[in-house]
Structure 1
Amino acid sequence: MEFTVGQIAELLGGLVEGNAAGKIRELAKIEDAQEGSLAFLSNLKYEPFLYTTGATAVIVAKSLELKQPVTTALIRVDDPYLSFTVLLEKYEEALASLKTGVEQPCFIGENSTIGENHYRGAFSYIGQNCTLGHNVKIYPQAYIGDNVRIGDNTTIFAGAKIYGKTVIGNKCTVHAGAVIGSPGFGFAPQKDGTYRDIPQTGNVVLEDNVNIGANTTIDCATLGSTIIHEGTKIDNLVQIAHNVEVGKHTVIASQTGISGSSKIGNYCTIAGQVGIVGHISIADKTIVGAQSGVSKNVTKSGTIIQGSPAFDYKQNLRALAVFRKLPDLEKQLFELKEKK
Structure 2
Amino acid sequence: MEFTINEIAKLLNGKIEGDGSQKIININKIQEGKPGDISFLSNLKYEPHLYSTESSAVIVSENFTPSKPVATTLVRVKDAYSGFTELLQMVEKLQKPDLLGVEEPCFMHESSHMGEEGFRGAFSYIGKNCSIGRNVKIHPQVYIGEDVKIGDNCVFYTGVKIISGTQIGENCEFQPGAVIGSDGFGFAPQPDGTYKNIPQLGNVVIEDDVSIGANTTIDCATMGSTIIKKGVKIDNQVQIAHNVVIGENTVIASQSGISGSTEIGKNCVLAGKSGIIGHLKIADRTTIGGNTGVMKNVKKPGQTLLGFIGIDLKDYLKSFAVFKKLPQLEDKIKDLEKKR
Whether TM exceeds 0.5 here: the answer is: yes
Local SS of the residue matching 1:159:
coil
**Which residue does the alignment assign to 2:194?**
194
* Structure-2 change in CA distance of 1:307 and 1:17 (3 Å): closer
* Per-residue deviation, residues 103-152 of structure 1 (Å, max 9, x unmatched): 22211112212222222222111111111112211111111111111111
Counterpart residue identity of residue 88, structure 1: L
Query: Is this contact kept in 1: 2:50–2:70, CA < 8 A?
Result: no
Deviates more, 1:194-203 or 1:33-42: 33-42
Counterpart residue identity of residue 257, structure 1: G
Local SS of the residue matching 2:89:
helix
**Which residue does the alignment assign to 2:69?**
68
Shift in Å, 1:235: 1.1
**Which residue does the alignment assign to 1:225?**
225
Pairing 1:87-98 to 2, within 5 Å after superposition: 87-96=87-96, 98=98
Query: Is this contact kept in 1: 2:286–2:301, CA < 8 A?
Result: yes
Counterpart residue identity of residue 226, structure 1: T
Q: How does the TM-score come out when normalised to structure 2? A: 0.92
Counterpart residue identity of residue 135, structure 1: N
Shift in Å, 1:203: 0.6
Alpha-carbon separation, structure 2, partners of 1:52 and 1:329: 47
Pairing 1:249-328 to 2, within 5 Å after superposition: 249-328=249-328
Point out where structure 1 has 5 or more consecutive residues left out of the alignment: none
Alpha-carbon separation, structure 1, partners of 2:311 and 2:95: 45
Counterpart residue identity of residue 323, structure 1: F
User: Are 2:165 and 1:173 equivalent residues in the alignment?
Assistant: no
Point out where structure 2 has 5 or more consecutive residues left out of the alignment: none
* Structure-2 change in CA distance of 1:49 and 1:287 (3 Å): closer
Deviates more, 1:153-162 or 1:56-65: 56-65
Local SS of the residue matching 1:267:
coil
Query: Is this contact kept in 1: 2:29–2:40, CA < 8 A?
Result: yes
Alpha-carbon separation, structure 2, partners of 1:331 and 1:14: 60
* Structure-2 change in CA distance of 1:183 and 1:51 (3 Å): same
Q: How many residues get paired?
A: 339
Shift in Å, 1:301: 0.4
Alpha-carbon separation, structure 1, partners of 2:195 and 2:43: 55
Shift in Å, 1:174: 0.9
* Structure-2 change in CA distance of 1:33 and 1:118 (3 Å): farther
* Per-residue deviation, residues 56-83 of structure 1 (Å, max 9, x unmatched): 432223344453352x443221211111
Local SS of the residue matching 2:32:
coil
Pairing 1:149-164 to 2, within 5 Å after superposition: 149-164=149-164
Q: How does the TM-score come out when normalised to structure 1? A: 0.92
Pairing 1:36-47 to 2, within 5 Å after superposition: 36-47=36-47
Shift in Å, 1:282: 0.5
Alpha-carbon separation, structure 1, partners of 2:177 and 2:322: 43
* Structure-2 change in CA distance of 1:293 and 1:335 (3 Å): same
Counterpart residue identity of residue 336, structure 1: L
* Per-residue deviation, residues 151-199 of structure 1 (Å, max 9, x unmatched): 1111111111111111111111111111110000111122222211111
Deviates more, 1:83-92 or 1:13-22: 13-22
